[in-house]
Structure formats: structure tokens, C-alpha cells
Amino acid sequence: MKGVAMIFAVVLAVVYLAATPGDAISCGDMQSSLSPCLGYLTGGGEPSESCCGGVRSVAGSLQSSQDRQTACNCLKSAASSYNVQPEIASNLAGKCGVNVGMTVSPTMDCSQVS
């Protein structure tokens, strides 16, 4: 769960700093967009282009603080389902060419996301 929380924090940071105009995204849509990243997050190597496309898609879909808080909670709720390696997850944004520009934590309080 800790590892998935880390991926959530990384994706949330990407969303916070690199959001572009788009429609709001549901938890199901977000999970679908990020599903190509699972192999990378659990085993390492390099994220696929479809994974990075999913990261960019999610980032572009979350515009408001409420959107980002919702995304935070969606990803945290999925955290217990996967064996994500936190050290690999923390590199996802950079591997996809997105500058996170902030420290992320697997214990992030979603209500504090702005």
C-alpha cells in the first residue's frame, strides 16, 4: 500500500504542476489511463510510451484543487491492490519527462492537496 501511495503522490504532483486544460476524470478513467504503468511500477525498467501518455492524460484532466484531491483519494484507495515499489514510483514523472518540482510522500494527506 505504501508503494501505491507513492505512485499516487508522484502522479498527484505531476497533476499539480503540469496540468493543462481538459475535462475532469473519474477514478475508473484514471486507473485505466495509468494501468500501462503497472509493469514499470512493480518491476522497474523503463515506463512505456502508453504509460507516460497515461500520466500526461491524468495530469491534463485535473484542473482544480477538488479534482486533485479526488485523484489523491482514488489512487490511495487503489494502493492496497498493487505491489508498487516506492523508489521506482518516485521516478515515474521524471522518466516520462515531467518536472514534478516538489517532494512527495506516501503519507500525503489528500485534504491538504491544493
- The CATH architecture to which 2-96 belongs is Orthogonal Bundle (1.10)
List C-alpha distances in Å: 110 to 70, 76, 87: 8, 9, 21
CB 113, CB 65: distance < 8 Å: yes
* Residue 52 CA, distance from chain mean position: 10
CB 112, CB 32: distance < 8 Å: no
Domain ranges of the chain: 2-96
pLDDT score for 7: 57
- pLDDT tens-place string over residues 76-112: 776 667 877 778 877 888 899 876 544 455 677 888 8
pLDDT score for 95: 92
- pLDDT tens-place string over residues 66-82: 888 888 888 777 666 78
Q: What mean pLDDT, rounded, does the chain reach?
A: 75
Query: Which of 27 and 5 is assigned the larger pLDDT?
Result: 27
pLDDT above 70 coverage of the chain, percent: 68
